[in-house]
Chains A and B, each alone.
Chain A
């Protein structure tokens, strides 16, 4: 048996089971940030006895593969070696996440987490917290999570707190309404002349009114959580925008004068009616290529390489078309489009997506926020012009 804790407890709240301690080093460091009340146990022949003695409340199975974790967990349950209301978490590699998901779906494990590779660190801490929450005295864990969150952004935290208080008040209102409905029902029942009608009303209450109230409660909770998430995203976006806006702003006239001095030949022989297109693509080679295709037929092109720069442009200039990549630094195509559709001069400007063949689902989602067409990477000049001309119109 081994432990990386400074003070090894006899009955740790959290226990990580592994074949090699090195495999779970990242995991143990994260849990250590959260609580000192944990141990890491390297599974050997005496594992069953060791685990029974430790009597952990939250057990994380991180054996070399999912099958071995399932076998060990089955054995522990079969031989009744675990505390009854324990919380079990299956840790797995990304390759085995489907299998782990299935195990949780069938209620074998309470949760699972992909730790190879280790991406979503906060999610692991949330899972451990969810496990610990089932037992008494979770204040210290909440404090440690609060500390992590506090390091982020005061204003954002207050927005989240605000959203949660809205949720609490709505839930309270629903509970009150429920009580009122129940008391009214009771009154009606007591006034009913015969028992059959009373029974009928009670059945209607149980089968229709209560489920409807529950559904309403769930729906409102979900909407409020969405609101909190929305506030969070908008806060991030606004901070980034403020940073960008604090830089010196060039007017569009200045931009045009630069273009005219450097490209007189183009201005002399326009084939299109100077339709302006904003091209948003982070890969400068591909951006140059598309720009070349469009400018040779007379379109006026402005180029930027990320979503935030695009938003800065669309705030002060109206374009005839926006051609935009899906994956962009700082703010992706989907969220940039959402922003375009909400504020500025380009609410109705058509947007065309530049995308790979593998992103059809994302493009579909993007289309829901006002996409007017897409160009697959790499398309031919003919295909690009067909999509652009169609979107701009005559």
Chain B
């Protein structure tokens, strides 16, 4: 599992370039949109986690996984998929650990985008 994670990138720029073309302004717009979306969805996931609504956790994680994959946020997509499978098991303790990692990953994306701008 970890070997697989080690091979994934926080932001794989090739993925989004191959999807929308090599247009920095457009790509930047989608990255910012993704950060906004991830912040909102993460909040919803935590609310669902607090109310033990595993079905909703799974739905929200699946939803965000689509855009994570599209913008090339490979590690985030991996964590979201992990949350999906733990939700099916109802494994609350494991979900909590992955949510913490996912939050760290979003911060890493933010950092990477800020660094790219400079």
Contact = CB atoms under 8 A, between A and B. Distances in A.
Of B18, B19, B30, B91, most A-chain CB atoms within 10 Å: B19
Of B63, B67, B91, most A-chain CB atoms within 10 Å: B67
Of B26, B55, B66, B69, most A-chain CB atoms within 10 Å: B66
Contact of B69 (A327, A378, A381): A378
Interface in A370-394: 377-382, 384
A94 B90 contact: yes
Interface residues of A, number: 26
A289 B90 contact: no
B37 interface: yes
A331 to B, nearest CB: 15
A95 interface: yes
Contact of A289 (B30, B52, B64): B30
Contact of A377 (B26, B52, B69): B69
A182 B52 CA distance: 58
Contacts of B34: 285
Contacts of B21: 296, 381
A380 B69 contact: no
Interface in A304-351: 325, 327
Contacts, number: 64
B70 interface: yes
A285 B71 contact: yes
B89 interface: yes
Interface string B49-70: 0001011000100111111011
A286 B67 contact: yes
A116 interface: yes
B70 A377 contact: yes
A315 B20 CA distance: 31
Interface in A55-107: 93-95
A384 B21 CA distance: 13
A95 B66 contact: no
A327 B58 CA distance: 12
Nearest to B67: A285
B20 A285 contact: no
Contacts of A116: 90
A327 B59 CA distance: 9
Contact of B70 (A95, A119, A378, A382): A378
B113 to A, nearest CB: 15
Interface string A356-378: 10000000000000000000011
A286 B66 contact: yes
A2 to B, nearest CB: 24
Contacts of A117: 52, 54, 90
Contacts of A95: 89, 91
20 contacts: A93-B90, A94-B88, A94-B89, A95-B91, A117-B52, A117-B90, A283-B63, A283-B66, A284-B33, A284-B37, A285-B30, A286-B66, A286-B67, A288-B30, A293-B20, A296-B21, A327-B59, A378-B69, A381-B20, A382-B18
3 A-B pairs with least C-beta separation = A117-B90, A380-B18, A285-B67
Interface of A: 93-95, 116-117, 119, 282-286, 288-289, 292-293, 296, 325, 327, 356, 377-382, 384
Given A285-B37, A293-B20, 16 more contacts: A94-B89, A95-B89, A119-B55, A283-B63, A283-B67, A284-B37, A285-B30, A285-B34, A285-B66, A285-B70, A289-B30, A327-B62, A327-B63, A377-B69, A378-B19, A382-B18
